[in-house]
């Protein structure tokens, strides 16, 4: 099936990663203008505060899907050693300007190789929902493998109910996918995460997110 969105003609079977990368490269400036100042009652600041309480200053943090670096990477980099990872060069260029204290890496998080048990925390805000459904579980397991024992994962998951889809968003065709909350919980449990916070947050116009702070425990 082909979707004509006025920007490009996209096959839903095309590689979702290519679509996501091209989409953010094209609209990074618009994303920054709309979300860079944060959103009303921004859950990122609240949950980063929860994470920060449990980490020591200088802790090693990987931020997956860091985007333009604001507000989240900037907040994290005030206290921690942060490496931001993103698939979009345009997002990373904005992040490097805005958060010079952090290191950045261009990568598809699902293909990223990092040393095992080397980080104190991994954060992932509004980015798991751009991974194909059948890659969520493996990505959670990968994140678990990078964390030191007792390390923390802070992430927002979509709650959409297991659909892969392409829709127009911020003027580009964008790939979205999310499981329901119980499946997210099962993926986390299977990767030996223990939930410390598991909160359903509704925001904006009908958006629904599952915010999770979870501890990596021994298998």
Residue 136 near ligand SAM by CB under 6 A: no
Residue 87 near ligand SAM by CB under 6 A: yes
Instruction: Identify the three-state secondary structure at position 201.
Output: strand
Question: Which of 80, 104, 119, 125 touches ligand SAM by CB under 6 A?
Answer: 125
Cβ 197 vs Cβ 47: under 8 Å: yes
Residue 216 near ligand SAM by CB under 6 A: no
Question: Which of 19, 26, 51, 91 touches ligand SAM by CB under 6 A?
Answer: 91
Subset of 92-111 contacting ligand SAM (CB under 6 A): 108-110
Question: Tokens in use for 176?
Answer: 């979205």
Residue 126 near ligand SAM by CB under 6 A: yes
**Distance from CA of residue 186 to its chain's centroid?**
18
The DSSP bridge partners found for residue 61 are 82, 121
The DSSP bridge partners found for residue 9 are 4
| Of residues 108 and 198, the one with the C-beta less far from ligand SAM | 108
Residue 208 near ligand SAM by CB under 6 A: no
Subset of 11-40 contacting ligand SAM (CB under 6 A): 17, 20, 24, 35
Span of 46-54, 66-74, 176-184, 202-210 interacting with ligand SAM by CB under 6 A = 66-74
CA neighbours within 13 Å on the CB side: how many for 120?
16
**What is the distance between the alpha carbons of residues 214 and 85, in angstroms, rounded to a whole number?**
20
Non-local CB neighbours of 73 within 8 Å, separated by 6+ positions = 63, 66, 67, 82, 84, 95, 98, 99, 102
Q: Which residues bind ligand SAM (CB under 6 A)?
A: 17, 20, 24, 35, 44, 65-67, 72, 85-88, 91, 108-110, 125-127, 130-131
């Amino acid at each position: 099936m082909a979707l004509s969105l006025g920007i490009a003609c996209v096959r839903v079977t095309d590689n979702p990663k290519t679509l996501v990368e091209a989409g953010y490269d094209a609209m990074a400036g618009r994303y920054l203008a709309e979300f860079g100042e944060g959103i009303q009652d921004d859950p990122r600041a609240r949950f980063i505060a929860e994470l920060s309480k449990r980490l020591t200053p200088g802790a090693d943090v990987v931020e997956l899907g860091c985007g333009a670096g604001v507000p989240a990477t900037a907040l994290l980099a005030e206290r921690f050693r942060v490496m931001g990872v993103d698939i979009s060069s345009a997002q990373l260029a904005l992040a490097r300007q805005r958060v010079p204290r952090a290191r950045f890496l261009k990568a598809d998080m699902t293909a990223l190789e990092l040393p095992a048990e080397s980080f104190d925390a991994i954060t992932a805000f509004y980015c798991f929902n751009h991974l194909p459904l059948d890659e969520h579980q493996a990505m959670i397991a990968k994140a678990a493998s990078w964390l030191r024992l007792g390390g923390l994962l802070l992430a927002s998951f979509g709650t959409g109910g297991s659909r892969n889809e392409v829709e127009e968003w911020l003027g580009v065709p964008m790939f979205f996918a999310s499981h329901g909350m119980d499946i997210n919980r099962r993926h986390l449990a299977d990767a030996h995460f223990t939930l410390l916070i598991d909160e359903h947050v509704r925001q904006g116009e009908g958006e629904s997110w599952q915010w999770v702070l979870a501890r990596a425990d021994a298998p």
